[in-house]
Structure 1
Amino acid sequence: MCEVSRDEHQITDVERCSVLAENGVLLVVNQSRVQPPLSVVLATVLYCAEFITAAVLCSMYRKTDDLVWMGFSIAFMLVPAILIQLTLTFIHRDLGRDRPLVLFLHLLLLGPVIRCFEALVVYFKAGKKEEPYVTISRKYSLKKGQKMPMEWEIGQTERILATHRNAFKRTAVIQAFLGSTPQLTLQLYATIQEKYVLHIRLALMVITLISITYGALVCSVLAIQIRYDEYKVRLRPPAYLCMIVWRVLEIATRVTALVLFTTALPHWVILVGMVNLLFFFFLPWGEFWARKGSLTENVEKNFSKLGTTVVLSMFTLLYACINIFCWSAVQLDLTHRELIERKQRWDRLAMYYSCRFVENFLLITLWYFFKSDFYEYVCAPLLAVQLLICYSLAVLFMLLFYQFCHPCRRLFKHNVHDCLHCICCLRGNSEKRGKPPSYSTAATLVLTPEEPLELLDPQNSQRPDLTQPMGSRETDIVDDILEAA
């Protein structure tokens, strides 16, 4: 197998593999270890913690006769839980299988728990060391009744774990933006209105903020993996740290601005929310109709046109809910097989954050002029400035991520440095002569299947000799891209 150069002057965070043909046989090799399903465990823990905390808080609301808070809390607790059960059942295709216990647990809203238990059982049974796969020809040469080799059993185990990770990443996004974000907004609003902090309410707000941040991270990582599916994506700790700070500041500032505006003008917030929801919901459909495209047929083979439309509408609704609170990191393309547009749209990124900053500024300004007497004990100008600074810091960390921490930054045709250079430092061609190239164009690689090997690895431009036995480095293949998050 051939890899992209790993030195610091080339692509350091991504690796590209090529499947070589030897005597008409495709060689599939995987010498990595089976990764523990940590994302499955984390998503399950967040789901259970939020559900239990919300249930305890609802019981307290019932004792104090706060029926309005109790009703909304129950709704924001049950709606995402039901959608998560349907998602897990749909991905694992349990309706066509004889699994009454699993379906019964899904009815009890305990589907994530049993799925997490299944993933852990599969992982511990498989062992931690994964042996190499054999060639595809060997699979078909197995005689009937012969025992399956250990390497194929482990390969099946890895595919099962990948299915669990794939399912729980989607449930984490559903939990974050259909349950945690409205729950956090509601509880923060209730805290301000009641003018005191309950410990259980504070715990629920912390859990929901963690859940939203994790869901936003999953969106960002999935967007990278889908756009660069030919590469092994490895996010380093600084990249995760930068994304966490970016997402926490962005989400916390957005929720606080909405809550403050709601305390001053409670009826107008419905208009703001509906305008945001309808705009982002109909944006992908408007582009779909403008392109005169046809619905993708790969959502589910057994679905009719109506069923496909319903599934795509639910997917678009989730996309709209994400964009109300933070950048979704993806652009929908309803005509594409994966429903995701692969091109990096810097113009949309800049437009989104510019418009969101202006909207937050207007919300905070309206709150400042129409705030209630409760905020006389708070320095309102300082709070407004702090919120705007926090959102500006979120944008700054986002730019730092795309400029320095993005694992595929070397593959960008244009980077943040180029955009800022064109906007702020545009000069004549005569002044550019003799200057070194910009950061992103100095080692830019274009992601095309026809890329010459010399461009992928200038220091290793010799093509491999297929007649010689493959070395240890040449027999390494990248792991499943879904395990990178």
Structure 2
Amino acid sequence: LLSLNEHNDSKTDKSLFSQDREISDLEQCSSVAENGVMLVVNHSRVRPPFGVLLATALYCAEFVTAAVLCSMYHNTEDVIWMSLTIVFMLMPAVLIQLTLTFIHRDLGRDRPLVLLLHLLLLGPIIRCFEALVIYFKAGKNEEPYVTISRKITLKKGQGTQMEWEIGQKERMLATHMNAFKRTAVIQAFLGSTPQLTLQLYATIQEKYILPTRTVLMVITLISITYGALVCTVLAIQIRYDDYKVRLHPRAYLCMIVWRGLEIATRITALVLFSTALTYWTILVAVANLLFFFFLPWVEFWARKGSLTQNVEKNFSKLGTTVVLCMFTLLYACINIFCWSAVQLDLTHQELIERKQRWGHLAMYYCGRFVENFLLITLWYFFKSDFYEYVCAPLLVVQLLICYSLAVLFMLLFYQFCHPFRRLFKYNVHDCLHCACCHKRRATMVLGGSQPPDLTSQLAERETDIVEDLMEAA
């Protein structure tokens, strides 16, 4: 870990763990500066913007496929399907343009071509092109990683102009990558999830499989899974912003299976329920949306906090409230279909609570499992004659097993694949162990034996964590 002297208040770089801690596999070269700050130099190249390319490809593929499907609906005079498809196609596209314009602050700059492309809903394409240009220009010169302390030195006039330009390009590329992470989440949960639900419902109602509609459903499922992965990684990065986050490939594989099964099972349960009890589906969706929308605000009012003023310097209280409401709406839409991996704190600068609340995680998945079970059970009793050739009991069991597998892979991720699992005060194994110890302690107390000293065990656990941190330093 990087540390400061007692008399030095400047902020240092993000810490890097060694490879044996499975957090970072970077080559580290450390030296102590005159002010006592340990500098960590990374000799790796600038990372390619694969996330930008993937987000842009998913955006274009979904938009084009939805447009083709709308044309087919128009030819067959399916006005309802066409109208809803257009809404779920344009709504996330417009929000993405606004998000990219807001993050890059283009309204205060003289860039008419970029603004025109945003009006034509082609903003992600030009942003992707800009990110690629920055990447290839930065890749021509292999320069060391410019640390925060080094940037301060460069600002004071020391160091080469080339190093300062490389640092500027790295920051610009990081801005593009962070912007596309936000747009991927918006595209996934404000566009792809309702689009997938609609097209699956239309397929069941019309009782035939349309190839273009199948392609759109596959693209939207990939988009939702990718958005859920981005949301999980962003939550980890914000919660542990003092460290460099590096995920192992097996962690990504575990998250893909976890998120894919969770989302597919949830959407299937909602669609099956809607085919049997259509109007009750609206009540279920609205109840979920209102609950998760007002939950952060109820906690905010219970704490008697004040709104954070760091959302945007030029915003008034009304503007800040509107932005927070939009952020809370996105948070609610995510939680309708899958676990958002974060808990909102409207009083905090980053709007996200840093603690890992296992209780909230357990309550969410237990409640969601019960809700899915009730939805599928109600569909089983009120299903139409269309399912007479389908083994309904087997389908119910398969959906419940798939959701249980999603929960299992989630537990495996937090126990074995989470990059900061060594920093957890409690982990999945500890929670299960404590539950077993609680039952054993109750048995021993009834038998007259003394319960184990859990306080000493917790102290040993904290000591081990401190030793791990010191070794990583």
TM-score normalised to structure 1 length: 0.87
Equivalent residue, structure 2, for 1:472:
none
Residue 326 to residue 384, structure 1, CA distance change in 2 (3 Å): same
- 1:330-345 pair list within 5 angstroms: 330-345=342-357
What's the CA shift for 1:154?
1.1
Q: Indicate conservation of the 8 Å contact 2:263/2:337, yes or no.
A: yes
Equivalent residue, structure 2, for 1:166:
178
What secondary structure is seen at the aligned counterpart in 2 of 1:297? coil
Equivalent residue, structure 2, for 1:12:
22
Q: Does residue 367 of structure 1 match 2:387? A: no
Distance 1:69 1:444 in 2: 59
Q: Indicate conservation of the 8 Å contact 1:4/1:457, yes or no.
A: no
Q: Deviations over 1:116-159 (max 9, x none)?
A: 0000011111225531238356424539xxx9622211111110
Q: Indicate conservation of the 8 Å contact 1:34/1:129, yes or no.
A: no
Q: Name whichever of 160-169 and 120-129 sits farther off.
A: 120-129
Distance 1:78 1:60 in 2: 17
Q: Indicate conservation of the 8 Å contact 1:185/1:259, yes or no.
A: yes
Equivalent residue, structure 1, for 2:77:
65
Q: Indicate conservation of the 8 Å contact 1:330/1:340, yes or no.
A: yes
Equivalent residue, structure 2, for 1:110:
122
Residue 365 to residue 312, structure 1, CA distance change in 2 (3 Å): same
What's the CA shift for 1:455?
5.4
Distance 1:32 1:205 in 2: 39
Q: Deviations over 1:437-473 (max 9, x none)?
A: 79x9488536xxxxxxx55234x88xxxxxxxxxxxx
Distance 2:451 2:142 in 1: 57
Stretches of 4+ moved more than 6 A in 1? 15-21
Distance 2:290 2:31 in 1: 48
Distance 1:246 1:115 in 2: 31
Aligned-partner residue type, residue 470 of structure 2: D
Distance 2:63 2:331 in 1: 23
- 1:377-392 pair list within 5 angstroms: 377-392=389-404
Q: Indicate conservation of the 8 Å contact 2:365/2:407, yes or no.
A: yes
Distance 2:156 2:364 in 1: 55
Q: Indicate conservation of the 8 Å contact 1:247/1:394, yes or no.
A: yes
How many residue pairs are counted as aligned between the two chains? 446
Residue 113 to residue 5, structure 1, CA distance change in 2 (3 Å): closer
Q: Indicate conservation of the 8 Å contact 1:295/1:335, yes or no.
A: yes
Q: Does residue 457 of structure 1 match 2:467? A: no
Equivalent residue, structure 2, for 1:190:
202
Distance 2:346 2:379 in 1: 38
Distance 1:82 1:291 in 2: 35
Q: Deviations over 1:234-259 (max 9, x none)?
A: 10011000000000000000000000
| Counterpart pick for 1:262 among 274, 290, 303 | 274
Q: Indicate conservation of the 8 Å contact 2:100/2:179, yes or no.
A: yes
Distance 1:274 1:19 in 2: 54
Aligned-partner residue type, residue 43 of structure 2: Q
Q: Indicate conservation of the 8 Å contact 2:16/2:244, yes or no.
A: no
Distance 1:28 1:365 in 2: 57
What's the CA shift for 1:418?
1.2
Q: Which has the higher helix share?
A: 2
Distance 1:284 1:141 in 2: 43
Q: Deviations over 1:318-376 (max 9, x none)?
A: 00000000000000000000000000000000000000000000000000000000000
Distance 1:335 1:45 in 2: 36
- Structure 1: 5+ residue stretches without partners: 447-453, 462-485
What secondary structure is seen at the aligned counterpart in 2 of 1:332? coil
Q: Indicate conservation of the 8 Å contact 1:216/1:247, yes or no.
A: yes
Distance 2:282 2:257 in 1: 29
Q: Does residue 245 of structure 1 match 2:257? A: yes
Equivalent residue, structure 2, for 1:283:
295
Equivalent residue, structure 1, for 2:86:
74
Q: Indicate conservation of the 8 Å contact 2:16/2:243, yes or no.
A: no
Distance 1:312 1:62 in 2: 38
Distance 1:203 1:65 in 2: 21
Residue 137 to residue 77, structure 1, CA distance change in 2 (3 Å): closer
Q: Name whichever of 295-304 and 417-426 sits farther off.
A: 417-426
- 1:77-476 pair list within 5 angstroms: 77-127=89-139, 130-132=142-144, 133=146, 135-136=150-151, 138-142=153-157, 149-426=161-438, 427-428=440-441, 430=450, 441=461, 445=465, 456-458=469-471
Q: Indicate conservation of the 8 Å contact 1:14/1:231, yes or no.
A: no
Q: Indicate conservation of the 8 Å contact 1:130/1:154, yes or no.
A: no
Residue 128 to residue 286, structure 1, CA distance change in 2 (3 Å): farther
Residue 64 to residue 24, structure 1, CA distance change in 2 (3 Å): same
Aligned-pair identity in percent equals 74
Distance 1:19 1:289 in 2: 47
Distance 1:160 1:408 in 2: 28
- RMSD value over aligned CA atoms? 2.7
Distance 1:84 1:284 in 2: 24
The structure, 1 or 2, with the larger RCO (C-alpha pairs under 8 Å, 6+ apart) is 1
What's the CA shift for 1:4?
6.7
